[in-house]
A and B are shown apart, each in its own frame.
Chain A
Amino acid sequence: MRGLIEEDYTTQEGEFVINIGPQHPSTHGVLHLKVWLNGETIIKVQPHLGYIHRSIEKMSESLSYRNFIFATSRMDYLAAHINNEACALAVEKGLQIEAPPRARVVRTILAELTRLSSHQLWWASTGLDLGAVTPFFYAFREREAILDIMDETCGARLTQNFLVPGGLMADIHPNFQKRTKEVLKQIKENFKEYDELLTENVIFQNRTKNVGILNKQDALSFGVTGPTARASGLSCDIRKWAPYSAYSMVEFDEILDEGCDSYSRYMVRMKEMRQSVNIIEQLIDNIPEGDFQEKTKNVIKLPKGDFYQRVETPRGELGVYIVSDGASSPYRIKYRSPNFSNLSVLPELAKGCKIGDLVAIMSTIDLVIPDIDR
């Protein structure tokens, strides 16, 4: 950790330092990387954080339990629904209530749609980072259709805020099931195009295979989660290990890969998209009838104590830790964000690589910067 914080490295002759970011298109936001180079070879990488810190954790301390959820949409903005779900589940845990079955199934469907759209955006930007501009538009075509589902039911494309503690804010839109089925049919046909455009492309394969080797031990000790860890053979899918919402009702595979390199991280996400389609297909015709919301009191007060809930976002494990002193707003909230832990392994992976590989490693770790700073 010492190497991460202190600039204790003095450059030798022939070595130099460059700054990538904070405003560089390949850093997906405002990530600032200080890179020590010898020619083209990376000696050391140091991420600088804090450019997009909005103090969401501190802000939540003055908001009620119903209101603090909206701010988490702005953490990992590509998986806003799943962030909201984590908070809603944590509050429900404190209240010792459970959302009705209808709400749980709809939450799961929306979460998997979110995962699909997030992975599609990742696929688009990975291609873009590695020089393939065309895939970007193909991924956005399907992503737009998914965002239309979100728009129709939740009222917003990205920052949905469709959940309240106890269930959903409103019932699903009458068109929800029909539209979702149409979109899934289209997406399943288009997976073939994805493979032909990028997966089988020789330039892409050469740039990602055997680049950024993350072994299982490192993944474990750096706290890496999500598809990045699963590509190193580390089984860490929260949906399997600690099922929440309706994940215990469905059958799906946890995608594992032993390749450990950027290409296997890519493949894990590609296969996960197909699993998400599989999960939605199992649930979309079986949405139970009934209430969409468990009644809660006007002013929600959690009992004294602490409550922890973790969920699987497209990038890994998100944990919400609420400390309550019995008042109507939380005493302290801590988010364990997947991207912060995943970023911590980047300097380790990039050591010894070429400068061009840094972009490949960064894009296959799939960082979303606002989630790192919060």
Chain B
Amino acid sequence: MASHAGAITLVVNGSTVTLDPSRDFHPSDTLSSVLRDRLGYTGLKVACDQGACGACTVLLDGRAVLSCMMLALEADGHEVLTIEGLPADDPVIQAFYEQCEPGYGTAMQCGFCTPGFVMAAKGLLNENPDPTMDEVKEALAGNICRCGCYPAIARAVLKAAATMKARAAGAAGAATSGAGSAKEATHA
């Protein structure tokens, strides 16, 4: 691929993007500003711009990072996943949306922190698909929800983990039963 000196290549939500420093970004630009202002991924939010709130969380090669604390340059050659890259039936998105059982409130109110929490939860579940409540809290301790929905957020993450587990079991079950019927068909 022909590119200018200093150009960087990111894979954002599966699409390869090459950015030219003479035109598309400045070497001092943060990943958050390039994603939001240059590439239009406005799902991530910038609230403190100093790594203290987690609203800008995205996944870099599957791990949660604070995009306001890293330069776009540092993401060169890496895969970036923003909330726009999650499918509509993503179990974490669904769990955050659906959380409303008696006694805990909803998992968001103003919603400004929510994409950051969702991506931090994705990062946790990528590494640890079956976390305990303490592990959930530890993983989300860098995210601020000023509306204070923490108890419901923690429950939503545990539910998302359970849904992922059930879906994986369902898929495995479907694969197994499929194989079984193929076997029967062979016998017949």
Q: Is the pairing of A and B real?
A: no
Q: Which residues of B contact A (CB under 8 A)?
A: none
